[in-house]
Amino acid sequence: MTTRKRNGEAPPVEQVAGNGLLHRRALLGRGIMLAGAAATGAGTSSTSAAAEPLKEDPWSLTMGSISLPRQVPSRFENHVVRTLSNPNHEFRNSHGRTPHHLLHGTITPAALHFTICHSGLPDIDPEKHRLVVHGLVKEPKIFSLEDLARYPMVTRPCFLECGGNSAPMFSKEPLQVNAQAIHGLVSNSEWTGVLLSTLLEETGIDPKAKWFLAEGADSLALHRSVPVKKGLDDAMIALYQNGERIMPGNGYPMRLLLPGYQGNMNIKHVRRIKLLDQPAMSFYESKTYSQIIPGGKAWLFHFLQEVKSFITQPSFGHSMKGPGTYEVSGVAYSGTGRIARVMVSADGGKSWGQAALQGPVMPQAFTRFRMPWRWDGQPAVLQSRAWDEAGNVQPTRAEFVAVRGEASAPVSPLGFPNQHYNAITSWGIDNNGAIKHVYA
């Protein structure tokens, strides 16, 4: 079905999939899209009341407030915050989740980047912090932050995702929580630092080295094993996040960045890199991040955060403001490389239309996708599905569950029944415009 050209002015906007999904070309010009919408009579019906005459508001009639050395968001944005799993700072870990449903674009503001702190935020003096590289190297070396600041640096966007992100979706029943609760343990920053390969070039590598352990300066001395192959490929000792020093919860003053690999491996506050001929079999790789698969076996070394996408606008917690034209938007990413394609469905996966990808599309980084949609006020189920450049495709929930299973017990939104969930998320919209989390 296509919309009809009425005045001979606006080109038709093609409907590309069921339930009102429009061709992504409609994004190229608002005029086209609105003309198309008008042609069907499905305009902005609920907001079409005549506007009131303009007047001056108080803020236009007086000098504003003082500029601060470090800006803070408008007081009207105070609700745009992370949700905390351990607000009373008890002796255990603490998760801060990114409010994806309130953000746009691709870069997560550093203050809203997700954090998982296993023993609080260490108060590290950057002048005293050291990074030692030792073990199976030709010459062990120790570096200060000041030293590293003189090394050649690189800058790249990169997503970080906890292996347990989206774990609420292991629940047999869809939990009625928002994108922040389900997917809030992934964020995307621009990182600047020194490639680990640069430092390894300086220390030399014993050919027997196949792994390295990275260890943090936190009170747990949290450590993980990483193949040397990754260390020489694109691993970075990151010093800056979105142009400023790394936030304490994200690893101040330096962290290991392993593009596309499980968040916990990207050791924060990194103080030690030790090259080994075998993995260290640390607590976190032995237990937390080795997940049980159906049948009693378990997966070990699930390095990759696999191809995934989810819709952020509209999503649970929003409500539709009447029938009319909307932009469906979300993020897609893959640990393997670039996003190649995102398809969107408004009828629960019966039909799909190709979304526009906001460029530049960068490897192992958030890619924003957008899809024009004309909602007719009837029930709809919105889904997104991503493909990466290696040909990996995001599974449907049914495909995923067939391989990975579901939780046997009820799931708390803060719980982690299993790890590495990357299947499709579905938002169900009823004829009142309310949005629920559904399985479709």
Minimum distance of other proteins from residue 119's CB (angstroms) = 7
Q: Residue 144 or 432: which CB sits closer to other proteins?
A: 144
Q: Which of 275, 20, 329 is nearest to 134 (CA)?
A: 275
Only one of the segments 23-31, 103-111, 197-205, 323-331 lies at the binding site for other proteins (rule: CB under 8 A); that segment is 197-205
Q: Does 161 bind other proteins (CB under 8 A)?
A: no
Among 10, 195, 355, 424, interactor with other proteins by CB under 8 A: 195
Residue with tokens 């897609």: 332
Among 256, 276, 361, 380, interactor with other proteins by CB under 8 A: 276
Minimum distance of other proteins from residue 191's CB (angstroms) = 11
Among 104, 229, 350, 436, interactor with other proteins by CB under 8 A: 229
Q: Does 281 bind other proteins (CB under 8 A)?
A: yes
Is residue 316 a contact partner of residue 427, using CB atoms and an 8 Å limit? yes
113-132 positions binding other proteins, by CB under 8 A:
119, 132
Q: How far apart are CA 24 and CA 351, in angstroms?
A: 15
Q: Does 208 bind other proteins (CB under 8 A)?
A: no
Q: How far is CA 339 from the centre of its chain?
A: 13
12-71 positions binding other proteins, by CB under 8 A:
none
Q: How far is CA 35 from CA 10, 251, 264, in A?
A: 6, 49, 49
Among 300, 390, 398, 402, interactor with other proteins by CB under 8 A: 300
- 204 Ramachandran zone, left/alpha/beta (phi>0; psi -120 to 50): left
Q: Residue 253 or 372: which CB sits closer to other proteins?
A: 253
Q: Does 326 bind other proteins (CB under 8 A)?
A: no
Q: What stretches of 85-140 show up as alpha helix (H) in DSSP? A: none
Among 134, 245, 321, 341, interactor with other proteins by CB under 8 A: 134
Q: According to the 3-state scheme, what is the secondary structure of 201-239?
A: HHHCECCCCCEEEEEECCCCCCEEEEEHHHHHHCCEEEE
Only one of the segments 34-42, 295-303, 313-321, 347-355 lies at the binding site for other proteins (rule: CB under 8 A); that segment is 295-303
18: helix, strand or coil: helix
Tokens of 231: 């260390």
Minimum distance of other proteins from residue 405's CB (angstroms) = 4
Q: Does 202 bind other proteins (CB under 8 A)?
A: yes
Side chain identity at 152, as an amino acid letter? P
Among 232, 317, 327, 354, interactor with other proteins by CB under 8 A: 232
Minimum distance of other proteins from residue 208's CB (angstroms) = 13
Q: How far apart are CA 231 and CA 329, in angstroms?
A: 34
Cβ partners under 8 Å of residue 94, min gap 6: 84, 85, 86, 115, 116, 117, 120
Q: How far is CA 254 from the centre of its chain?
A: 21
Is residue 39 a contact partner of residue 376, using CB atoms and an 8 Å limit? no
Minimum distance of other proteins from residue 175's CB (angstroms) = 14
Q: Binding residues for other proteins, how many (CB under 8 A)? A: 82
Among 25, 121, 248, 301, interactor with other proteins by CB under 8 A: 301
CB 65: neighbour CB atoms within 10 A?
Answer: 6
Q: Does 107 bind other proteins (CB under 8 A)?
A: no
Q: Residue 138 or 350: which CB sits closer to other proteins?
A: 138
Among 142, 390, 398, 402, interactor with other proteins by CB under 8 A: 142
